[in-house]
Amino acid sequence: MGLEQEDVEKLDQIVRRNRPLHRGDHLFREGSPFQALYIVKTGSVKTYAPSEEGGEQVLGFHLPGELIGLDAIENERHNCSAKVLETSAVCEIPFGEFEELSTRIPSLQHQMYRLLSREIGHDEEMLTLLGKKNAEERLAAFLLSLSKRFKRRGFSPSDFYLSMSRHEIGSYLGLAVETVSRLFTRFQEEGLLKVERKHIQLLDIDRLRGILDRDANRGSRRQST
Amino acid sequence: MGLEQEDVEKLDQIVRRNRPLHRGDHLFREGSPFQALYIVKTGSVKTYAPSEEGGEQVLGFHLPGELIGLDAIENERHNCSAKVLETSAVCEIPFGEFEELSTRIPSLQHQMYRLLSREIGHDEEMLTLLGKKNAEERLAAFLLSLSKRFKRRGFSPSDFYLSMSRHEIGSYLGLAVETVSRLFTRFQEEGLLKVERKHIQLLDIDRLRGILDRDANRGSRRQST
DNA sequence: CGCGATTTTGATTGTTCTCAAGGGTAGTGG
DNA sequence: CCACTACCCTTGAGAACAATCAAAATCGCG
């Protein structure tokens, strides 16, 4: 399923490594023509859908190893904006070249299908989060997701810095800033974590998971066929 | 960008046309192995993520011409279930064969990338709906989306039957059944539409759109950089 | 050091959920 | 064909969770 050595090299040749970006820089803006996919190497990036007067819906936070821009393939224009949250290194994969390459390397095409599919699955999970879970469960899910992703990349799963603001977390989770802030305070009081500004230490990951499972069991007394 | 006649024929050869399905039949269930994508020809299908005790999050309603199963490519297992809402005809595209074909027809690969990308874009729109919009705006958006999709397929954009229950609409929009019911009543009182059970007539589409735009302008007094 | 932005905390409001009950509809079986 | 049942939809009353409004505290940056 993976790529052959030889194919990896070919892919490697079309990837562009740009100089580091800084907090506030845009990878692309909503409406701009789609030219490349981006991979975060270090740092973090948020994608968001801007609305008329400065409001925005945060669509995702992207950590090292994660791909950005998949929603732009369809109409060759970006549907959202991508902004760097901290000094970051981001690679660029010109999509035209990539697509051409993937017609010649079936396993590359396969990986791309999987990546796109994974993104859909992830979005669907978020739909359930926003559709069914309460504030507490949303924040727990968010922290556990970060934890898992840090861990996979070899960082500490229980001690990390948030590169995004409370406001951005709130937007992502469909909550008001104040609610997010209060939840951090409460989680700390309950001994679930230690929070100091952007610095988070998860003290009881199991109990955080419990918050999610508890929800699953809340379920529904109302059946639906 | 479109497919050549010859290619359409090849694609056509791998598509399986099954006998009609009936209300309540499953196309697939969460966890079952992924074998094919499905296209609705007539009727309608809902996809949903079942939770432990019978609860569910409805992920989408699929009308004729729409594709189902894209989120299963990644781990070759379905992440959600798909259930037929009314007597429907659904075609099956064995994914293995499709993928093999798409390695040989670049434009087919391209279309597939676009389709997957479109799905991501659509899910992101739903995230904004669930994250930022109130009940009224959600129902308006839902009705307008149905209207648009019916229209594209040559059906009336302002007079149609809902194949899903209030409960399912509520689940899809992150609302309680009662809220959905009350909103239908209110929209009718306001002359926006006429509703009689499953039969919907949109009387003032422009004003429905206005409900969405109004929201966009509500926006945020709180800037976020 | 001081200004602006961010975060926290408190008080209040409000939208939506929950609980409860009635009426309607469709499907089933006698 | 009718009665029965199960589900679906609607409506009302009250509760609750989170939003909003307001203001103070803290932080980061020039």
* CB distance A60 to B131 below 8 Å: no
Arch. (CATH architecture) of A5-127 = Sandwich (2.60)
pLDDT of residue A218: 58
Kindly determine whether the C-beta of residue B197 is less than 7 Å away from any atom of nucleic acid strand D.
yes
Position B161, amino acid: Y
Is residue A149 within a helix (H) or strand (E), and if so which, with residue range?
Answer: helix A135-152
Rounded CA separation A170/A138 (Å)? 10
Rounded CA separation B157/A219 (Å)? 35
Q: How far is CA A174 from the centre of its chain?
A: 15
Q: For chain A, state the CA radius of gyration.
A: 19
Rounded CA separation A127/A140 (Å)? 16
Q: Give me the helix-helix angle, A205-218 and A135-152, nearest 10°.
A: 130
C14 C1' to A9 CA distance, Å: 59
Is residue A146 within a helix (H) or strand (E), and if so which, with residue range?
Answer: helix A135-152
Burial of A204 (0-12, 13-18, 19+ CB in 10 A): middle
A7 pLDDT band, cuts 50/70/90, is confident
Tell me which chain A residues have a C-beta less than 8 angstroms from the C-beta of B113. Answer: 73, 99, 112, 116
Interface subset of B 81-100, CB within 8 angstroms of A: 99
Q: How far is A209 from chain B (nearest CA, A)?
A: 16
Q: Which CATH number fits domain A133-218: 1.10.10.10, 3.40.50.200, 3.40.50.300, 2.40.70.10?
A: 1.10.10.10
Checking A206-211 for CB contacts under 8 A at 24+ apart, the result is A208/A140, A208/A143, A208/A144, A209/A140, A209/A144, A211/A136, A211/A137, A211/A140
Which nucleotides on chain D have any atom < 7 A from a protein Cβ? 7-13, 17-22, 27-28
Q: On the CB side of B109, how many CA atoms lie within 13 Å of its CA?
A: 25
**Structural class in CATH, domain B134-218:** mainly alpha
CA quadruple B112, B114, B115, B120: dihedral, nearest 10: 130
Mean pLDDT is lowest, of A6-15, A201-210, B141-150, B155-164, for A6-15
**Is residue B11 scored above 60 in pLDDT?**
yes
* CB distance B212 to B141 below 8 Å: yes
Q: Which of B130, B164, B177, B215 is most worth mutating to test chain A (most A CB atoms within 10 A of its CB)?
A: B130
pTM summary value: 0.93
* Span B122-149, average pLDDT: 97
Interface subset of B 39-68, CB within 8 angstroms of A: 49, 51-57, 59
Cα-flanking dihedrals φ and ψ of residue A6, to 5°? -60, -40
Instruction: Report domain extents, chain A.
Output: 5-127, 133-218
pLDDT of residue B218: 57
Convert the pLDDT of each residue in B56-70 to its tens digit. 999 999 999 999 999
A1 touches chain B (CB under 8 A): no
CB within 8 Å: A74 and B110: no
C20 C1' to B45 CA distance, Å: 32
Residue with the larger pLDDT of the pair B50 and B54? B50
* Span A38-53, average pLDDT: 93
Rounded CA separation A208/B197 (Å)? 43
Rounded CA separation B47/B39 (Å)? 13
Name the average pLDDT for chain A: 93
Kindly determine whether the C-beta of residue A224 is less than 7 Å away from any atom of nucleic acid strand D.
yes
